[in-house]
């Protein structure tokens, strides 16, 4: 692990998966058992992650992903990155598509394996704030669909 540039690994992940909007780039960037933990939910496996990314990208029109800053710990197995997503609501977080602007910030803590593959991504994002700041009854929060009774939703 010494000498591994984990920042470059994570920035490649941001660029290829999110900025280029290519979930299949995960095939060479994350482990088979890659896990994302976000909002109390875990997305487990590379294949589940790719489906989740595709759905997330579809929920925001004019999707843009900008990296604010990225740094790693001394041994290089953890990377922290702050980012910003902007676009227009096309069903974000289960809401009705409205075309209203979305501006969300987040922080990710990523575990990078010795093989250079990402193993886990813990994400904190301002999704609730996005909903709250979008105009109540006339914004995204006013267009939310009722919660599903299915497990995990």
Give pLDDT tens digits for 68-93.
Answer: 999 999 999 999 999 999 999 999 88
Q: How confident is the model at residue 150 (pLDDT cuts 50, 70, 90)?
A: very low
Q: State in Å, rounded, how far the first CA of the chain is from the last one.
A: 38
Min mean pLDDT across 21-30, 105-114, 119-128 is at: 119-128
Neighbour-count burial for 23-42, b at 16+ CB within 10 Å, e otherwise: bebbeebbbeebbbebeeee
Third-level CATH fold of 6-143: Nuclear Transport Factor 2; Chain: A, (3.10.450)
pLDDT at 59 over 70: yes
pLDDT over threshold 70, residue 133 = no
Q: Mean of the pLDDT values across residues 19-31?
A: 98
The domain locations on the chain are: 6-143
Mean pLDDT over each residue of the chain, to the nearest integer: 87
Q: If 0-12 CB within 10 Å is exposed, 13-18 middle and 19+ buried, where does residue 72 land?
A: buried
Residue 30 half-sphere exposure toward CB, CA atoms < 13 A: 27
């Amino acid at each position: 692990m010494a000498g591994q540039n984990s920042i470059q690994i994570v920035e490649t992940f941001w660029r290829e998966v999110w900025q280029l909007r290519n979930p299949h780039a995960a095939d060479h960037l994350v482990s088979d058992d890659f896990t994302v933990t976000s909002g109390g939910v875990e997305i487990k496996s590379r294949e589940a992650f790719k489906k989740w990314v595709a759905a997330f990208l579809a929920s925001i029109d004019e999707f843009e992903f900008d990296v604010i800053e990225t740094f790693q710990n001394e041994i290089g197995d953890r990377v922290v990155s702050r980012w910003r997503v902007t676009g227009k609501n096309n069903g974000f977080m289960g809401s009705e598509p409205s075309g209203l602007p979305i501006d969300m910030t987040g922080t990710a803590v990523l575990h990078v394996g010795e093989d250079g593959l990402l193993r886990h991504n813990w994400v904190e994002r301002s999704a609730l704030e996005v909903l709250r700041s979008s105009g109540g009854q006339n914004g995204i929060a006013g267009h939310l669909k009722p919660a599903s009774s299915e497990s995990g939703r």
